[in-house]
Amino acid sequence: MTAAAPPPGWYPDQADQRFVRWWDGQQWTQHVQPAQGGPAPGQAGHQPGHSDAEVFELNIDSAHDPSKIQQQVRKSTGGAPVAGGGGGTLFTEPVLVVNQKGKLIEMANEYQVFDQNGQQLGSVAQIGQSALKKAVRLFSSYDQFMTHKFELRDVRHVPLLQITRPAKVFKSKLLITYPNGAQLGEIVQENVFGKIRFSFLVNGQQVGGIQAENWRAWNFSVQDAGGNEVAKITKTWAGFARAAFTSADNYVVQIHRPLEDPLCSMVVASALTVDTALKQDSN
């Protein structure tokens, strides 16, 4: 008779007893945190802790403040109210607030995603970072020419989509897949100079795209196949400490109307990766 697997929780990391690692009930995850002062072995915390990369990074973010997130929304909408909620999921809320975690030393991009009231809906984490990639990122800017993978997760840390940006020279491409590896579509950069444009391609057919509103690409219009704006992405002020000492950016995404797949998933994926796809390549 096979013994039942232990329940999800924190357990001593066999590789380093100074840390505890999150067991999701089926397998060990990449999330670790210091054992001292952390949850007792087997205790389920509010959420998994830091990834392996974060152990070696210096974070300046504290617990999120819902009032600051609400202020972000008011500034991006000019104070105009946004109608109602959308069921509390990443694919149904009319407003997504995407805040990059601020780190003095950053070797993996991570983002938290909230609704307009400051309730966390999910997160985006960079995955598959090798020791070499971390070293390249720490000591140079050449990591922008390497392949990068991100995972979009709900608030329970269940993977929803995977976003891969293959190695590039001038133009970026994002491959959007489901957790099982099935391809959803591609987000393909169309130009290098001027107002940056990206197309959403599903089975080779264009279903929409992203249009930067100016050559500096601070804000973006997200459009359907007919050129109609279905969402707007606005960069917001990250605060003095984050702006002065980190490369972290914050965005507010307004989705004007309920969207159906595949356009819905493409819009959410593009909104949640716009910082890496369009911004950090310019650094």
Positive/negative CA dihedral, 56, 102, 235, 95: positive
Q: What is the pLDDT of residue 136?
A: 55
Q: What is the pLDDT of residue 282?
A: 52
Q: What is the pLDDT along the chain (283 residues), one digit of tens a residue?
A: 445 667 877 777 766 666 777 777 777 776 767 765 544 444 444 445 454 444 444 454 545 678 888 888 888 877 766 766 678 899 999 999 988 775 444 446 788 899 999 999 999 888 886 666 655 555 555 556 678 888 999 988 889 999 998 887 778 889 999 988 899 999 999 988 888 899 999 999 999 999 988 776 678 999 999 999 999 998 876 543 333 333 457 888 999 999 999 999 999 988 776 666 655 555 4
Query: Taking the complete model, does pTM exceed 0.95, yes or no?
Result: no
Q: Which long-range contacts (CB under 8 A, 24 or more apart) does 65-69 make?
A: 65/118, 66/114, 66/117, 66/118, 66/119, 67/118, 68/118, 69/97, 69/99, 69/114, 69/116, 69/117, 69/118
Query: Can you list the domains of the chain with their CATH numbers?
Result: 9-51 (no CATH), 58-282 (2.40.160.200)
Question: What is the structure's pLDDT at 57?
Answer: 47
Tokens matching residue 31:
């999330």
Q: What is the pLDDT of residue 40?
A: 46
212, 195 contact by CB (below 8 A): yes
